[in-house]
Amino acid sequence: MASYRLRINGGERTIELSDPDQPLLYALRGLGLTAAKFGCGLGQCGVCNVLLDGRATRSCLETIASAAGKSIVTLEGLGSISAPHPVQAAFIKEQVPQCGYCTSGMIISAVALLAEKPKPTEEDIREALEGNLCRCGTHVRIIRAVMAASGQGG
Amino acid sequence: MAVALAPHRLTRRAVLKGGALTFGFAFAGLPTHGLADEALAAPRSVNPNEVDSFLSVNGDGTVTLFCGKVDLGQGLRIAMRQIAGEELGISVDMINYVEGDTALTPDQGRTSGSNGIQRGGMQIRQAAATARQALVELAAQRLNTKADDLVASDGEVRPKSGGAGVRFADLIGGRSFNLKLNSKAPLKDPVTYTLVGKPLPRPDLPAKCTGSLTYIHDFSLPGMVHARVIRPPAIGATLISVDESSIKHLAGASAVRIKDFLAVIAEDEWTAVRAARALRAQWSEWSGLPAQDKLIETIRANPATTEEVLVTRGQPGTGSPSRAMTRAASYFWPMQSHGSIGPSCAVADIDSDKAIVWTASQGTHGNRKTFARFLGLPEEKVRLVYLDGSGCYGMNGHEDAAADAAILSRAVGRPVRVQWSREDELGWDPKGPPQLLDISGAVDPSGRILQWHTEMWLPQTTRGLPDVPLLAPAAAGLDNVRGLQPGLISQNADPPYAVDSVQVLVHWLEDAPLRPAPLRSPGKPANCFAVESFTDELAFAARLDPIEFRLRSLADPRGIAVIKRLAALMNWQSRPSPGSNKDAAIMRGRGMAYVHYKHNETYVATGMEVAVERTSGRIRVERVACTHDCGQIINPDGVRAQVEGGIVQTLSRVLMEEVKFDRSRVTSLDWSTYPILRFSDAPKLDIALVDRPTEPPLGAGDASCAPVGAALANAVFDATGARLRTVPFTPERVKSALGGV
């Protein structure tokens, strides 16, 4: 057993693990932070995305050992129902999710994009979200919500 | 991260309370009611003929709605509240909601076939109307006045002329109506609607956008173990031996084998994943699948068929045969996966005399019988509780994962969570079946369709089969149903247009290469692809504009209306296809298709503007326009979202999706071998909804899927002069078709 200190959503958590290669995703979900979802375990779909030092990162591939010491932000850490992050608020206002399984990863990727490019073009958004899959077909609403969150609505 | 083991029988009560918080979804700020606890103590009525099964008026003035249909992301949680609130006279934020729990909600049938609103919603409308009539009568007694002089509104019944009313809660709060659904209970006049027809926001979205909604994947029970099921390397293989020493280095992991059903369990999820990877097992050889590159020939040559004439109408026309232009073409739609973004998951807690299964199944009620059968329990001892899952569009692996969990929970005596892998989901979810259609027909130069003949090959639904057969009971040698259940896949194989003589012949196949199940708009995307592509082929023969050609032979005014509105939306220039730029490097064109879903439901006309790159063969869909008439609209934004999703998802199916297999198993097991549409291919959407408040509401989940394939094929033909008749329209297929121009 080895001990790892994780900085998650502004707080410190220590977890004991026998396998340092355990992906971050399982540790987060084991801690009750279930917004990041399991989708493929292959880094192909983006539903497990979290912010790692501000970058949208596949938590199904990132090992605990490599995540330790970095700042980890999950969807829960961005905002809440009573105080949503602007991107969360835009997703709600634009009535984006259907099943909602991809939503956490989409919002995380969008937040990372807006941190880098506060006024993205539609092409920027498509490019930034190209690695995030949605099966319900909400792509157009997602683009609209990210534009709105960047103050470029309408 | 070992989970402390609690004796889980003692915690069942606490668990159900937790469950109630998640599925007894309430608006923020409203009290929850501990419904699950009450239901275990004294089961409530779930008879779909009783008002009390659908709704109760609580002492605090709220109403609780009990819905047997489930919200898969299509917005029933708000639409059902709008329907009930409208008829009762209470605002939607005063309505609590319980769904898809076999112990608490009436059996309204599977949430499928776009019947959530058009059937399930109408039951709730009738229940609410019956309840309102009763409330008004109670108030008339209380106020000593005539019922006709009273109105139900804002949760109370009050005199129409003004003055103090009586709250619903004071009339019947906490007590039963004891009434049958009254089909004659007066319904509100749509002119007076204040809730139905409004784009009210879906109440579950704040939780979905902040990570606070409990999906089945997020649900856990005290004492629960994590499992992974090991499917065989070949579909029909049997298990010869298991080497348990291969996982003994993983603390707490163990293998469970029941005949050919093999799984690993562990205290934490990651150990279960590692154990599933490490476990060595020997399976028999099996190679019973047909060769994929000979699939069409195999289907045509299948001797195990029954022929049936599904449609025959009209007489051979009086037009001069010498002026008839005959055409014939063959269309193929491949096997496709639901492609759920989250692999299936379920949690079960089974002991010797009862079973509770948490599942994202679209048919909790129907599955109760199935689960009771293979668990050997009486149906009333089996309870299935719906929790949100990753989007499922017919029947993906949800039910299979639930059966996995149930069988494992019984075997190990603890609650079990089963999570499928990506490979499991794409490899083993039941598939939309392959569909082959040959169409021949004749048209005269005036555009009159003289003759139409559709011949198609489809897997036959096994008579009396209650559900799609499940994997785990079959592997474990338990009592399981056998047969095929692909859904109602033979509809819309005849044209919606006036034709002198029409025949549809189906060759029903007794087997299917892979286990079939209904997949969104079952069968219709393929049938409409063939019928509406062939319609354009006839229009081309007659040198007529595709819309003009259709309107000449269409009588249904609602169908005509959606097509004309589409033409306006697209600024459609009337001319025959193809256009004049088919020699350009990037060829642009437009096309459309029309469906009257099942010939008696929703009307849809869909048009596309495409650009086809000659050198790469890549199709870019630049814009999709759609006009959609599903009768009375309950929630326009909900309908719009369904139409958007239906178009984009089907576009993905048409452009890129085909299940690949070798002689033993599915080989398209990840998103690189089974690609689906990404943002770079998401088109602009222009959707016009036709609201008909005085018509019955029809389904909105499926109909928009049907015309997508033909609209795209027709647009590509308009751009290039090349006709695509096999889905998916991969760049290789496009290049090959262009080479033949």
Residues A98, B680: C-beta atoms closer than 8 Å: no
Q: Mind telling me how many Å the CA of A133 is from chain B's nearest CA?
A: 6
Minimum-distance CB partner of A130 among B422, B641, B678: B678
Res B21 pLDDT > 80: no
Closest CA to B345 of B231, B257, B432, B220: B220
Which chain A residue shows the shortest CA-CA distance from B669? A40
Q: Tell me whether B622 touches chain A (CB under 8 Å).
A: no
Confidence bin at B27 (pLDDT 50/70/90): very low
C-alpha–C-alpha distance, residues B324 and B446, integer Å = 10
* β pairing state of B345-350 and B355-359: antiparallel
Minimum-distance CB partner of B421 among A41, A84, A143: A41
pLDDT tens digit sequence for B460-509: 998 888 788 999 999 999 988 889 989 899 999 999 999 999 999 999 99
Which chain A residue shows the shortest CA-CA distance from B680? A126
Res B210 pLDDT > 70: yes
pLDDT of residue B580: 86
C-alpha–C-alpha distance, residues A73 and A57, integer Å = 10
Q: Tell me whether B2 touches chain A (CB under 8 Å).
A: no
pLDDT tens digit sequence for B654-711: 999 999 999 999 999 999 999 999 999 999 999 999 999 999 999 999 999 999 999 9
pLDDT tens digit sequence for B514-524: 999 999 999 99
CA angle, A27 then A30 then A36, to 5°: 70
Residues A95, B342: C-beta atoms closer than 8 Å: no
Q: Is pTM beyond 0.90 here?
A: yes
Residues of chain B with Cβ-Cβ distance to A99 below 8 Å are 72-73, 341, 388-392
Phi and psi at residue B644, to the nearest 5°: -55, -50
ipTM (interface pTM): 0.98
pLDDT of residue B5: 31
Optimal mutation site among A139, A143, A147, interface B, most CBs of chain B within 10 A: A139
pLDDT of residue B318: 60
pLDDT of residue B319: 55
Structure tokens at A26: 């399982």
> What integer is the mean pLDDT of B735-741?
82
The rounded percent of chain B whose pLDDT value lies above 70 is 93
Which chain B residue shows the shortest CA-CA distance from A31? B1
Res B15 pLDDT > 90: no
Residues of chain A with Cβ-Cβ distance to B338 below 8 Å are 135
Which residue in the block uniquely carries the two structure tokens 């209470």?
A: B90
C-alpha–C-alpha distance, residues B25 and A40, integer Å = 29
Measured between alpha carbons, how far is residue B379 from residues B137, B331, B376, B403 in Å? 38, 44, 9, 15
pLDDT tens digit sequence for B615-640: 999 999 999 999 999 999 999 999 99
Res B204 pLDDT > 70: yes
Residues of chain A with Cβ-Cβ distance to B679 below 8 Å are 125-127, 129-130, 132, 139, 142-143
Residues of chain A with Cβ-Cβ distance to B73 below 8 Å are 97-100, 136
pLDDT of residue B459: 95
Residues A92, B682: C-beta atoms closer than 8 Å: no
Res B16 pLDDT > 70: no
CA angle, B60 then B61 then B66, to 5°: 100
Q: Tell me whether B244 touches chain A (CB under 8 Å).
A: no
Confidence bin at B110 (pLDDT 50/70/90): confident
In whole numbers, what is the pLDDT of chain B averaged over residues?
A: 92
pLDDT of residue A154: 60
Closest CA to B586 of B636, B622, B559: B622
Residues B649, A96: C-beta atoms closer than 8 Å: no
Residues A91, B652: C-beta atoms closer than 8 Å: no
Confidence bin at B740 (pLDDT 50/70/90): low
C-alpha–C-alpha distance, residues B267 and B254, integer Å = 10
C-alpha–C-alpha distance, residues B355 and B375, integer Å = 9
Residues of chain B with Cβ-Cβ distance to A131 below 8 Å are 678
Phi and psi at residue B440, to the nearest 5°: -130, 155
pLDDT of residue B315: 81
pLDDT 10s digit of each residue in chain A, 154 long? 889 999 999 999 999 988 989 999 999 999 999 999 999 999 999 999 999 999 999 999 999 999 999 999 999 999 999 999 999 999 999 999 999 999 999 999 999 999 999 999 999 999 999 999 999 999 999 999 999 999 997 6
Which residue in the block uniquely carries the two structure tokens 């036709």?
A: B690
C-alpha–C-alpha distance, residues A68 and A73, integer Å = 13
pLDDT tens digit sequence for B212-230: 999 999 999 999 999 999 9
Residues of chain A with Cβ-Cβ distance to B360 below 8 Å are none
DSSP per-residue codes, B521-577: STTHHHHHHHHHHHHHHHHHHTT--HHHHHHHT---HHHHHHHHHHHHHTTPPP-PS
Residues B1, A17: C-beta atoms closer than 8 Å: yes
Residues B210, A15: C-beta atoms closer than 8 Å: no
> What integer is the mean pLDDT of B58-78?
95
Q: Mind telling me how many Å the CA of A79 is from chain B's nearest CA?
A: 6
Measured between alpha carbons, how far is residue B619 from residues B277, B337, B537, B642, B651 in Å? 40, 22, 20, 24, 11
Res B10 pLDDT > 70: no
Residues of chain B with Cβ-Cβ distance to A17 below 8 Å are 1
Residues of chain B with Cβ-Cβ distance to A40 below 8 Å are 343, 422, 670-671
pLDDT of residue B317: 63
Minimum-distance CB partner of A38 among B213, B419, B676: B419
Which chain A residue shows the shortest CA-CA distance from B686? A140
Which residue in the block uniquely carries the two structure tokens 């060769």?
A: B291
Q: Report which residue type is found at A150.
A: S
Q: Mind telling me how many Å the CA of A150 is from chain B's nearest CA?
A: 17
pLDDT of residue B537: 98
Residues B269, A29: C-beta atoms closer than 8 Å: yes
Measured between alpha carbons, how far is residue B685 from residues A144, B622, B648 in Å? 12, 9, 9
> What integer is the mean pLDDT of B125-136?
97
DSSP SS3 for B98 = strand
pLDDT of residue B115: 83
Q: Tell me whether B74 touches chain A (CB under 8 Å).
A: yes
pLDDT tens digit sequence for B365-416: 999 999 999 999 999 999 999 999 999 998 999 999 999 999 999 999 999 9
pLDDT tens digit sequence for B295-348: 999 999 988 789 999 999 998 766 566 789 999 999 999 999 999 999 999 999
> What integer is the mean pLDDT of B536-554?
98
Q: Which residues contact B579 (CB under 8 A, 6 or more apart)?
A: B588, B589, B590, B718, B719
Residues of chain A with Cβ-Cβ distance to B201 below 8 Å are 92, 95
C-alpha–C-alpha distance, residues A68 and B656, integer Å = 39
Which chain A residue shows the shortest CA-CA distance from B649? A137
DSSP per-residue codes, B412-463: HTS-EEEE--HHHHHHHS-BBPPEEEEEEEEE-TT--EEEEEEEEEEEPPPT
Distance of CA B556 to the CA centre of its chain: 27
Residues of chain A with Cβ-Cβ distance to B217 below 8 Å are 34, 37-38
pLDDT of residue B29: 30
pLDDT of residue B37: 40
Which residue in the block uniquely carries the two structure tokens 């795209």?
A: B712
